[in-house]
Structures are given as C-alpha cells and as structure tokens.
Amino acid sequence: NDAPIIYADNAATTQKPLSVIRRLSNFYAEENSNVHRGVHALSEAATAAFEDSRKIIAKFINAQSEAEIIFTKGTTEAVNLVAQSYARSQLKTNDKVIITELEHHSNIVPWQIVKEQTGCELCIAPVSTSGEVLLEEFEKLCDERTKIVSFSHISNALGTINPVTELTKIAKLCGAKVFIDGAQATLHEAIDVQKIGCDFYAFSGHKAIGPTGIGILYGKLNLLEEMPPWQGGGDMIEKVSFKGTTYNNVPYKFEAGTPNIAGAIGLAEGIKYYSTIDLQSAKEHTRSLTKKCEELSSCISGLRVIGTATNKSSICSFIIDNIHPNDIGTLLDQQGIAIRSGHHCAMPLMEKFGIKGTARASFTFYNTIEEVEQVFKAIEKARKILA
C-alpha cells in the first residue's frame, strides 16, 4: 500500500538474514547432494556440512553431545515424535501428563492423541489472569502418577516467559520427564538445556531467523537410546531383512528418509549470524521494545492487553472494545504494517480469557523503537476509523 513495510509478526515467523538466504542458495547451486549415502565428493561435503550444523545447534543450546540433536520439520513434529515414541510406549491408564493452559495447539493435540491411545489422564495447569502459570496449582498437580510434564518456554499468544527451570525442578521432584516447547524462545532467552534440566527441548528454525521446514528435538541421550523409532525408512536402520530389522544409532534412528539438508545448514547459518551479535544488548533492546509497547498500549482508549506477566517477551496481544481483531489487522495492513489476528493456535487460552482472539504485534531484535511507535500510531488511527 505504498508504505514501507513494518514487520511485527515475528511470533509467526522471523525474517531471514542475507547470510542464511545466500547459504541456502549456494548449497543448492554449488553443493547439492544427498547425505550419508554417497562416496563421492559432493555427498561427503553435504554430509559434513549437515553434521556440522548439528554440532552448531548442540552448542547453541548447550547439549552434551550432538547425538542429542534430532532434525525435525519443526516444533510440531518434535512434540509428535516424543508423544508417539516415548509417551505412547511408556504410559498406562493410571498415568498422568500435565500441560498448561498457555499451550499452542501443537503442545495440546499430540497429548490428547496419546490420551486416546493409552488411556492416560491429561491434566491442565491453570494460569492467572495475567497469564502466568500458577506455581502452587502446578505443584499440586504433580504427583507420583505424573510421567510427563510439557510446557512452553514462552507463550506465543501472550508473551509470558515461563520460569522453566523452576517448573522443571518441580516436575522432576515427582520423577516426571519434562518436555519444553521452545518455539518462541530461541531469540529471546539464552537456552541451556543442561542448566534447565529438561529431558526434551524443541524449536523451529523459521522462528529463529532460519528456514522453514526445519527444527530440532533435543533429547537426553539415554532416553533417546531407550525410545522406539517413530517413523521407519531409509537412514534409520542398521540392517533390514524380511526376518526383522535392526535400527541405527541415535540420532539417525529418528531421522527416517532424506532430511531437510539445506534447511539444517541454513538453520546453523542463522545461529552463526545470531552468535555474532552482542546478545546482551540485543536482549536489552528487545526489552526496551516490550516497555515501549506497554507504555503506548496504555494510551489507547478501550485497548486491553491480554497477558500482562511480569516476565514477558516482546509480544503484545490486545483487544479493543467493540472492534474485531481482524479489522485491526486489515487496517494496519493498509498502512504497511504486518501483525497477526486470531486465536494464535491457542483456542483454550482464548476461551479462558472469554475472547475469540486478539490482535498481536510481535517484535524481535531487528525491530526499532520507531517501528513500535508507528505500529501504535496506526492502531490508534484504526481505532478511530472503526470505533
């Protein structure tokens, strides 16, 4: 609409640095080959680049070994992998899985499927009106029947940053395995899976300045080794015969078929890019964007922020009296501004707040204070038109 684009939909997906785009393009133009199977130079180079990426990702989240990094399509596939391989094979009727009210559908539905398959109980830890997990309630739910606890690091719908280390500690006291959905966390928090103490951690490349169609599942090595394969096919086997098949080592046991080679290499390139910037000042900058959102949102008449946790990322979810969130999104688009409106794949959370959806502006380290100001100016303009 003849206005310079302001991209404030980073919780849906982030933009990619040129180094990532060039790395992808270069891989396809100059290096393309399948991995693991060839003896020719191109295949060996592709395999080395693919496996180097695994090492870079392992270092990024401080995994003990690169064997603990499984390439997936994204966070969604990682949750499904753990649900179908670990949970389905371990859980029985009397066991409990705990999630929270904050979850994205991808951290709800896979557990509902496991509930149907195993007869286990699925318990939901409630959140406060500000959108924070009620620790006492969470603690009350955790007992000796609890086998898996799964929660997001940062809520995509509200921006709440969960106290993941504390939640993990509570869950571990009752002997449960902990899965963390880190889809929104990679650009906001330094991730140290060993410090957190979780058993599984997942994130998506496309929300971390990397390509779409690639993500990772981190799992503790001993657990991954015990888990049965999820999908069968090439690469995940050691020996196949019609009498029976033996499986490859971790992580390959969980990577059936040709992986997203360019995606993995591109994701590692994104992490390399991110590692060259001063993370402390990036964090302070994002915090100042969050503060600016808080300041400016309080100046708009009839605007209510949904999700007011003390510890919040740069996601601002809001509604305005008598105005549909989609109308706000459309009027902002006419001013060159990309935000998201709807239920953000968190329908139960919207129901909790008694709303159908919100308008959501989400910023990241490359957004500027001026952009936040422009977004709120445009929201005020939209409000006046729609009121």
Q: Which residues bind ligand PMP (CB under 6 A)?
A: 74-76, 104, 106-107, 152, 156, 181, 183-184, 204, 345
* Long-range Cβ contact pairs of 120-124 (< 8 A, separation 24 or more): 120/87, 120/91, 120/92, 120/93, 120/94, 120/95, 120/96, 120/147, 121/94, 121/95, 121/96, 121/97, 121/145, 122/96, 122/97, 123/96, 123/97, 123/98, 123/99, 124/98, 124/99, 124/100, 124/348
Q: Which is nearer to ligand PMP, 152 or 358 (CB)?
A: 152
Nearest approach in angstroms of CB 287 to ligand PMP is 20
Nearest approach in angstroms of CB 88 to ligand PMP is 20
Specify whether 142 is catalytic.
no
Nearest approach in angstroms of CB 225 to ligand PMP is 25
Core vs surface per residue 28-65: b (16+ CB within 10 A) or e:
eeebebbbbeeeeeebebbbebbeebbebbbebbebee
Q: With the CA atoms of 230, 235, 238 and 241 taken in that order, what torsion angle do they form, in degrees rounded to the nearest 10?
A: 80
Q: Which is nearer to ligand PMP, 107 or 168 (CB)?
A: 107
Could you say which of 120, 198, 293, 345 is catalytic? 345
Q: Which residues contact 109 (CB under 8 A, 6 or more apart)?
A: none
Q: Rounded to whole angstroms, how far apart are CA atoms 35 and 263?
A: 13
Q: Rounded to whole angstroms, how far apart are CA atoms 196 and 26?
A: 36
Backbone angles phi, psi at 193, to 5 degrees: -65, -30
Q: Which is nearer to ligand PMP, 14 or 75 (CB)?
A: 75
Q: Which is nearer to ligand PMP, 12 or 300 (CB)?
A: 12
Nearest approach in angstroms of CB 345 to ligand PMP is 6
Q: Which is nearer to ligand PMP, 339 or 378 (CB)?
A: 339
Nearest approach in angstroms of CB 351 to ligand PMP is 17
Nearest approach in angstroms of CB 130 to ligand PMP is 18
For residue 37, CA distances in Å to 116, 201, 234, 235 come to: 39, 29, 10, 9
Q: Which is nearer to ligand PMP, 104 or 312 (CB)?
A: 104
Q: Rounded to whole angstroms, how far apart are CA atoms 254 and 229?
A: 6
Active site members: 345
